[in-house]
Amino acid sequence: MPGVRVYEYPVWGWTLPPETEVGPSPAGLRLDVSAYRETKARAVAAHESQTTDLIADDPQGFRLEPAMIDRLCGPYERFVAVPA
């Protein structure tokens, strides 16, 4: 579709160690969501299966760590432009 821009929302990229080589900085945009940080934090916390020990039968199971939640609930949403 001509003229349509596509953006990705990076989630797992925030979990990479700082020394990980991922190539050149991506192009994209940054949206100020600072007025909604508390609301977003409540929304993330509502996903108890991902933020608590609700599912306790798998010690290796997925769980959002506090540092990742802090990054997800920061003052900006970042979107990466997908090359045409």
78 beta partners: 30
Domain-located, residue 34 = yes
pLDDT in tens, 23-54: 888 899 999 999 999 999 999 999 988 888 88
| Within-domain flag for 2 | no
Q: Count how many domains the chain has.
A: 1
> Is residue 11 domain-resident?
yes
Domain residue limits at 77 = 7-17+26-81
For residue 14, is pLDDT > 70?
A: no
Closest listed residue to residue 26, CA positions, set 7, 12, 11: 7
- 70: in domain: yes
Q: Which residues contact 55 (CB under 8 A, 6 or more apart)?
A: 49, 61
Task: Tell me the per-residue pLDDT of 53-70, one tens digit each, with 9 for 90 and over.
Answer: 888 888 777 788 888 888
Tell me whether residue 1 is in a domain: no
